[in-house]
Amino acid sequence: MILDTNIFHNARTDTSGMQMLLRLVKSGCLQLVISEVVAREYITKRISESEISKDKILSESKKLKNTKVFGNEYHVSNLDRSISEAIQKIETEFYEWASQDGIEIYKIKNTLIEEIFDDYFIGKGAFKKSKSRDDFPDAVILDCIKRVSLDFKTSVITKDQHLVICCNDLDGVKTFNSLDSLFEEVDIGQAIIQLDSQDGRINGILNMLESSSVSVEVEEYIKEFKIEEYLEKQFYYNSISLPFGLKNELGSLSNDSVQAVISEISDFGSIYVSKAKYLGGDRFSLSINIDCLFDLHMFVAEGRYEMLDYSYRKELNREELLVDGEEHIYGFLKGNLESSILLSGIDLNLNHHALEAHLSYLGQDKCVLSVDIESDQIIIDDL
């Protein structure tokens, strides 16, 4: 199984989806192949984003120091050093993670560069047009898919529609647009059921976590403790699903060219809890879907706004002045947020009544369970 860059940026190495995938890998059900191009893009993006966050933190800490609220030059310097050391470990920690059994890094040096250049000059394969240098990373990823699929039936997880088209021309290659869609595939779904059924306690906990009483507890927890965390989350194109009627007219889009934040949780009653998953150890996850209003911003080629259907032009505005030669289209659109709650510290030997009691204390000091929130993606409603 191969993950494309846009999936790996969202799945990371520590999310519930990746933990579920690793459970399948460690059990021998799947082998995970990561193109070195994807690995490098993931690492450089994490480092770049972390450097930006570090600069913001240091800027704010200097303000506190200069206004005599907190700290001194030593505190700022120590904070800088601590964060910098953590950032320096990102690459090493990734390759340590990737050294687990069942994970293979497909090296760039294994790429058949002659075939890639043949496609480059004629605009074939991963290249959308001849001599399109921007498509070289995708060409290396496609080469990886081709080589792996010669020996194994291969699943590719990608949101890149052009890469999907290329994969459809290959024998033994099946594409999925998300890890969840992979988990719902019949053979994989059966493998997960079989893994869960090896311990009846796990199945019992999964059934209990999907009960209506637990859904109520989780909904109350989100409303009381996590709304602000959701509202502060920034989403980019890789984690935004635009409706076809909007996406089709905007042309080529990059990750930074589409941005969104949650404007408001339109109806606190519209929080849906489903799909409990066992992630291994003492960890479980619950899928969450929340109705939201999104503040959407798109930076696209000049003239794209006029190509939009009237229904979208009615809801969206256009900034008169171009920003770096691009139109800024913005406005509010309804949709939903697909998220996950990770529950850690669940004792598999607890009876269900005791576990339900623990869940009733989510977010409170007396709760022995650790709770983390993941914001996976947002799906904008079609008009």
Tell me: the pLDDT tens digits for 210-255? 888 888 888 888 888 888 888 888 898 888 999 988 888 887 788 7
Residues 241 and 359 in one domain: yes
Residues 168 and 207 in one domain: no
- The torsion angles phi and psi of 340, rounded to 5 degrees, stand at -140, 145
Residues 151 and 78 in one domain: yes
Residues 47 and 178 in one domain: yes
End of a domain among 170, 190, 210?
190
Residues 128 and 266 in one domain: no
At 247, list the tokens. Answer: 């996406």
End of a domain among 135, 156, 190?
190
pLDDT of residue 148: 93
What's the half-sphere exposure (Cβ side, CA atoms, 13 Å) at 139?
24
* pTM of structure: 0.77
pLDDT of residue 104: 93
Residues 211 and 186 in one domain: no
Q: What is the largest CA-CA distance in the chain?
A: 66
Residues 270 and 150 in one domain: no
Q: How many domains does the chain have?
A: 2
Residue 323: give the domain boundaries.
199-380
> In angstroms, what CA-CA distances link 133 with 94, 112, 257?
27, 17, 19
State pLDDT tens for residues 174-214. 999 888 899 989 899 899 988 888 777 888 889 889 888 88
How many CB atoms lie under 10 A from the CB of residue 188? 19
pLDDT of residue 36: 94
pLDDT of residue 269: 57
Q: Which residues of the chain have pLDDT under 70?
A: 265-269
Residues 105 and 234 in one domain: no
Q: What secondary structure does DSSP assign to 116-164, as a single string?
A: HHHHHHHT-TT-SSTT-GGGHHHHHHHHHHHHHHTTS-EEEE---HHHH
Residues 182 and 203 in one domain: no
End of a domain among 169, 190, 211?
190
pLDDT of residue 250: 85
State pLDDT tens for residues 345-355. 998 888 878 88
User: How far is it, in rounded angstroms, from Cα 298 to Cα 304?
Assistant: 11
Residues 92 and 226 in one domain: no
Residues 320 and 344 in one domain: yes
Contact 333, 380 (CB under 8 A): yes
Residues 369 and 278 in one domain: yes
